[in-house]
Amino acid sequence: MEALSPHERLILDLDFADMDFAITLIKKFSWYINSTMINSATIYSKVSGVLSSSREDLYQRLSEVWNLKKVIGQKLFLDLKLNGCPSDVEKLAKDISRLNPKMFSVSALAGKESIRKAVANRGKSRVFGSLETCLDRNEYFSLFGTSSDAISLRCARMLVDAGADGIMCSCQDACVIRQHDQFSELLIACPATIASKPEGPGINPRELIGMGIDFLIVGKPIITDPAEIMGLEECFQIITKEIALGLNDRKYFREKQHVTQG
């Protein structure tokens, strides 16, 4: 991956019902953001609003969607987690490529052939496999008969074989995947946290970037309660500084390893 500055490594998860707040957020913090993620729930909500609106409200609903698209511009990340038979995924990927998003996602469990169809029809977009983060480790074992670590590695292998660009997963899965050299070219995105959030996953941005994670996803709960974390702008500044430190750590570890091997 090309060298990215700290503020180019943040993905904004736009999971908000308040469209005005979302647009204000993008405008104010666009400098910090690599891309803006919109998931299927947000899309369904807006489509439902348009289809159920009266003739009088229709223009306003459509204007909201248009304004959001205009503000996001070329930084769109469609987190749709495409899944289904290969022919369905192929058609959806072709439709998505007409929007020319920066990135879009396919389910990491969609199967190799479906992922290949998404990759083959992506246009100029990057394709990320999305590995579910809502399951705990016991649920993984109950569903798949093996550990979440094993599942994350199998999915990473399938994504690489299918030609995908990256994977979205939990912080824990991200660290497991990045320990394996065979996935060194696979981009990894995972949720960000900051030290002042006690309910966070326990891995701060500096550690994640230092380990080789490429993108951090910023969204709930960080953004929904800015007063708790000293305001949104300071939150973005903290994460950006942590990323910069992590990049320095990564460089130091690589140089040290090179000297040791030499």
- Domains and their CATH numbers in the chain: 1-34+192-262 (no CATH), 75-189 (3.20.20.70)
pLDDT in tens, 29-42: 888 889 999 888 77
Helix (H, G, I), strand (E, B) or coil at 199: coil
Q: How confident is the model at residue 104 (pLDDT cuts 50, 70, 90)?
A: very high
Residues with Cβ within 8 Å of 130's Cβ and at least 6 positions away in sequence, in order, are: 79, 81, 105, 106, 107, 108, 167, 168, 169
> Which is more confidently placed, 9 or 60?
9
Residue 16 identity (one-letter amino acid): F
In a 13 Å sphere around the CA of 9, the CA atoms on its Cβ side amount to 31
pTM of the model: 0.85
pLDDT in tens, 115-169: 999 999 999 999 999 997 666 667 767 777 778 888 899 999 999 999 999 999 9
Most confident of 64-68, 103-107, 190-194, 203-207: 103-107
- Percent share of the chain, pLDDT over 70: 84
